[in-house]
A and B are shown apart, each in its own frame.
Chain A
Amino acid sequence: MTPLRINVSSDVPQREALLAAASRIHNLVVVDSEAEADAIVACGDLGKWPKDLPVLQLGELSTNAPTNVYPALPNRFDPHAQAIRRRLDAGDLGKPGLVRLHVWNPASDTLNQRNKIDAIDLVQWLIGEDIESSFGTQSQANQVIHLGFVSGAMALIDFYDHLPADDRYRSLTVVGSDGAAYADDHRDRNLFFASGGMNAKPPATGHACLGPMLEDFASRMNDRDDATHAQRAYRAAETIVKQLLP
């Protein structure tokens, strides 16, 4: 198989991490110019990119994005989410009935609209159905989204971005008819006692989604897949965010 040649735009915030991830992927080669590339990884400014090249877009998807632009949907490639999805695909958990997701960031890393779209996309992707109903509410610093899915499945997501600096908390629970999976930073934390205090920190997995995300993109390019399905998932999540968290 000929490796996919990608060009990583300079506007990508995690560019170094992305290049490092790409260097490990057998069927992917990073090239320096758009002219040499089969595809582009970019963050924003869609109009700038050649219309005939596929684009993996990490930033917000513009309203008139053509079908060569793939929204990145990075949360699907988080290692915890991947592990749960494998168990769902294997049938170990049965039919998903509930997804509970807590997304907490420090004040220094405010959750933006794209972060919230990605969170809703993750829930949709795990349940594998269309959203039937939605409800949102919030307290001072905490936004809540309550979703219902066509077959009766349900989800609760909450967003909070006032944790202390450098801290971060994620908790993802999927309850299926035959079992449940719990991916929770509460379980993942290790204890460090130093300087008269105690810290509980999870091992870093911040960029672990990038490699699988690029591999998936390369695979889609190889299969000549277009971005219709990914765009549809993105738009469904975007609609919820715009309706409930304006």
Chain B
Amino acid sequence: MSGSTTLGPVHQAYLLQARQMQALSFMVHIPLVAFGIAFPVMVLFAEWLHMRTGDPLYRVLAKRWSKVMVALFAVGVITGTILSFEMGLLWPNFTATFGSVFGLGFAIEGFSFFVEAIFIGIYVYGWDRLSPRAHFASGIPVVIAGFTGSLMVVAVNAWMNHPSGFRLVGGHAVDVHPLSALFANTYLWHELVHMYIAAYIVTGFLVAGAYAVGRMRGRWGRYERTALLIPLSIAALASPVQILVGDWAARDVATTQPIKLAALEGLGQTQSGAPVHILGWYTDDQVKYGIPIPKALSLLAFHDPNATVKGLDSVPASRRPPVNVVRVAFQTMVGIGTAIALLGVWFLVVRVRRRRLPESAWFYRAVALAGPLSVVAMIAGWVTTEVGRQPWVVYGVMLTSQAVTGAHGIPVAYGTLALIYAGVAIGVAWVLRRLARAPLDLPPADRTVAASAGD
């Protein structure tokens, strides 16, 4: 299968460091991207409330959020730039061989970024300088571009996981059909929907979490209640839905990438009526110390309790991903996903039955925790997808070891990037604290009152 490639073979002693550098770059970019996708919607909703009700509180809210939005957008832009550089810095042979197949996705994405950057500029610097209607309208392209941008990147990733639209002849891609490679790919749709919802969960819980922490410290008035309600409602609705979509994703993986599914579940041998194991550790071709649920895997993956599921033994050891990395990541995602879905349902039930916000302090502690946890779930999900695809960079076509650069000094680059990213993280944390502390510009009636008198 994996024959020659466009630039020919190289020896790279630091493949592992290159992979880690790629992983680090993604882990920094992806949470920011979540904000790029979901936050504009929340900001615009607050502004729409202001237009509809004439209530200045919503305007204050939208304006304050938009400052956070633009700061995070700036960091999203630069971390994304690093990723695009890494396509050549780390994986030149991947780009040289397949750029003509998948590159179109990024080229179109470039225009999304243009639209997003232009209108975020107009929106954020246009408060007080545009008519209310024009200002609101200038935010809409930001929302659309956030969607199309992630559509394009995810299309590329889906192609890497389920490649089509070309033939490889003597290491060169021929018969290339970029449109069908990117968009006629069945693998795209679950990834897109799952990622998009993840963005809403992450943004919703992180923003709500900030106000939940504020409530514990006694900052709780009409402003804070509104600022909590909007993101929390979104996250609470999205998190149960995510379980259904995740189940869909797993069924797609089962049919297109059986080895990844086997790694997710630690299934050593091909068998019918395969079980699911909760927790445990994969050694000696099986899961030890886990809680087995007989036939569950066959049922979940193929809707038939006796279906045959391929095991890791169906490919040679050199073609298997690192099982425990993938499996622990997957279980982490599913565990967190289940927990935050329960939290969401708690909120929905109280809200629908009692027509108010939950009052238990435990609820707010859980919301504060749900933000960071959902970031962990999202990263764990990408680890599942990407490490689960290893050793392939293009599934079944090109090995990651064939894609890598022949340049020296990867560990130095990796160390430098890690250092710089630590600095970026400190800078972002610092500016967010500063923005949160800026005094609220509200009429006295809406100012903070003590938590007990709040509701």
Indicate whether A and B interact: no
Which B residues fall within an 8 A CB radius of A? none
